[in-house]
Structure 1
Amino acid sequence: MTGLKNRMKRIIKPDTGRSLVIAIDHGYALGPVKGIVDIAGTIRELDATGQVDAWLLTKGIFRHAFEPAGSPGVILRISGGATITGPDITNEGLVTSVEEGLSLGADAMAVSAFIGSENERETLVGLARAADDCHRWNVPLLGVIGLGKALGEKKNDTRFLALSARVAAEHGADMIKTYYTEQGFEDVVAGCLVPIMIAGGPKCETDLDTLKMIHGALQRGACGIVMGRNIWQSPHPAALLNAVWHLIHKNCSVVEAQDVLEKSTA
């Protein structure tokens, strides 16, 4: 068992082959958005369920607000440098070293690649170099497929998603976070070399919509989620998390998960 495989087991659970990752790294580019203004409070509420397999967060959150009761997995975002107020949110670079992540106790690193953007080359080179550094230390890398404003419509383009996932994997990512599309998502999974987890994307209208999206992705081959606002912007974040956990690790139907949600909010 290599160090990389051991660390992967802290992200993707070997008994189910699936993972429930909560993303709380949005503030690195968006600032204090609804649901993570009191980031420590959000962490406490969701951590109390004991159902979060791993967290995707930044070094600032890790140092100043992350105090889980147990020992969930940690994926540290190490790319950044652009915000929603700047000229181009896709103009990211590496902002943290793998060594810094290890000193904090992270189990994996995350880097965005904005394929199809003007910064495609720079972000892919950054991902590839981060993969080299990660693998030197036997640390897994999560490749995050980013879009930005100009490419927003691509989140429903199966061919684009399949290309992006494959490209990120071939540049060294060990896991992929990408968008889910109802049509052809199984082709995205089939063409990728490594496990795929879905992002939440824009906030769903209802919690039921979130459950349907996650269930659809799991049925089409995703191994789980790396999701933020669709969980912590819910009216009932902990209850929704419980329902999502049952979808992912108990292989429940949408109806069964909805029943879990309703009982948790009664």
Structure 2
Amino acid sequence: MSGLKRNTARLFSNRGKLFALAMDLPQLGIVKGLEDPVGLIREHEKSKLDAFLCNVGIAQIAEAELLHKKLLLRTSSAGTNLASEMTNIHRNHVSPERALAIGADAVVMMFFVGGNDYASGQDVAAAIDAYHRLEIPVIVEIMAYDNNLTQTFETQVNGARSAAELGADVIKAFYTERFDEVIAQCPVPIILAGGPKGVHVEDMARDAVTNGIKGFCFGRNLYQIEDAAERIDRLDAILRG
């Protein structure tokens, strides 16, 4: 077994599943619930979460707090909330060597599909190749060039398969109708993204697990609610039974 396969398998070392708290949104600017990211990690470091998804700055600041959890490192970015226009190309800005030095268990990047998606696809493919040279697993999150289309079946089923064909080790996908087909047509594990706050997250999670999802990576539906610890316990029970 190669180092890459071993490292990918370790992401799912807790009964074959991966449960992560996504904290990477503030690369766009201030986000409610993430005003004190290190404090949030401390709050949940003994929870049933397996991992935290962080940007490089927080990963460095919270090194001690992350010691006993897996680190999923966001390596792509595309400006801030103050930008005059949004882009559908998220460039990777963390080198494989830096990710390895920080201790990342995997890296996470976005793939924008639809529209003129050639540049995004080429950037993702080149980044996957670079990280794989150092046996670092790559998780690719599927987005649409028009954000209103992200949580559609066509975006997720085609994006997940395309990213897997480009070499992604794990896909981070958004829940859609016919989600069982998204999973069935993707040859690598899929973890579920949380989507906007307010969705019926536990019902969504339960259906996704029934369809074969391998994990959760939720953000606002955890850190922007009052009973986050209780919801984490309930979601863990849904995920691992």
Q: TM-score, normalised on structure 2?
A: 0.93
Question: Over residues 55-75 of structure 1, what are the superposed CA-to-partner deviations in whole Å (9 max), with x where a residue is unaligned?
Answer: 211110111234326521111
Instruction: Find the counterpart in structure 1 of residue 30 from structure 2.
Output: 32
- Tell me, yes or no, if structure 1 residue 140 matches structure 2 residue 137: yes
Q: Within 5 A, what are the aligned runs for 1:33-72? A: 33-49=31-47, 51-68=48-65, 70-72=67-69
Shift of residue 220, structure 1, vs aligned partner = 1.1
Could you say what secondary structure the match of 2:39 adopts?
helix
Gaps of 5+ in 2: none
Return the alpha-carbon distance in structure 2 between the equivalents of residues 117 and 95 of structure 1: 23
Q: How far does residue 154 in structure 1 lie from its aligned partner after superposition?
A: 3.8
Partner of 1:237: 228
Kindly indicate whether the alpha-carbon contact (under 8 Å) linking 2:142 and 2:150 is maintained by their aligned counterparts in 1.
no
* Cα pair 1:90 1:117 within 8 Å, conserved: no
**Are the equivalent residues in 2 in contact too, given 1:19–1:225 (CA < 8 A)?**
yes
Q: 1:147 to 1:42 in 2, by over 3 A?
A: farther
Q: Which amino acid aligns with 1:127?
A: V
Whole-Å Cα distance in 2 between the matches of residues 44 and 236 of structure 1? 16
Q: Where do 5+ consecutive residues of structure 1 fail to align?
A: 252-266
Alignment match, 1:262: none
Asked if 1:5 corresponds to 2:1, the answer is no
Is the Cα contact below 8 Å between 2:171 and 2:190 reproduced in 1?
yes
Residues 68-110 of structure 1 deviation map (CA, whole Å, 9 limit, x = unaligned)? 2652111111111322332114232111111110011111111
Instruction: Give, as a single letter, the amino acid of the residue that structure 2 aligns with 1:90.
Output: N
Where 1:106 maps in the other structure, the secondary structure is: coil
Give how far 1:7 is off: 1.8
Over 3 Å counting, the alpha-carbon distance change for 1:85 and 1:173 in structure 2 is same
Q: Deviations over 1:187-244 (max 9, x none)?
A: 0001111001111111025xxx221111111111211111111111111111111111
Tell me which protein shows more strand as a share of its residues.
Answer: 2
Percent pairwise identity: 32
Select between 39-48 and 69-78 the one with higher mean Cα deviation: 69-78
* 1:25 maps to amino acid: D
Q: Matches of residues 217-228 of structure 1 in structure 2 within 5 Å? A: 217-228=208-219
User: Matched residues in 2 for 1:64 and 1:74: separation?
Assistant: 13
**1: distance between equivalents of 2:34 and 2:172?**
20
Q: Distance in 2 between matches of 1:211 and 1:117?
A: 32
- Alpha-carbon RMSD across the aligned residues, in angstroms, is 1.7
| Partner residue in 2 for 1:159 | 154
Q: 2:179 maps to what in 1?
A: 185
Call closer, same or farther: CA 1:70–1:91 in 2, change over 3 Å: closer
C-alpha contact 1:161 1:188 (8 A) present in aligned 2? yes
Residue 213 of structure 1, aligned match among 197, 204, 217: 204
Q: Does 1:80 align with 2:77?
A: yes
User: Hey, which bits of structure 1, 4+ residues long, moved more than 4 A?
Assistant: none
Task: Quickly say closer, same or farther: Cα 1:65–1:16, change in 2 above 3 A.
Answer: closer
Aligned equivalents of 1:43, 1:61: Cα separation in 2 = 10
Q: Is the 8 A contact 2:143 2:150 kept in 1?
A: no
Partner SS state of residue 111, structure 1: strand
The 1:66–1:241 alpha-carbon spacing in structure 2 relative to 1, beyond 3 Å, is farther
Tell me the residue number matched to 1:256. none
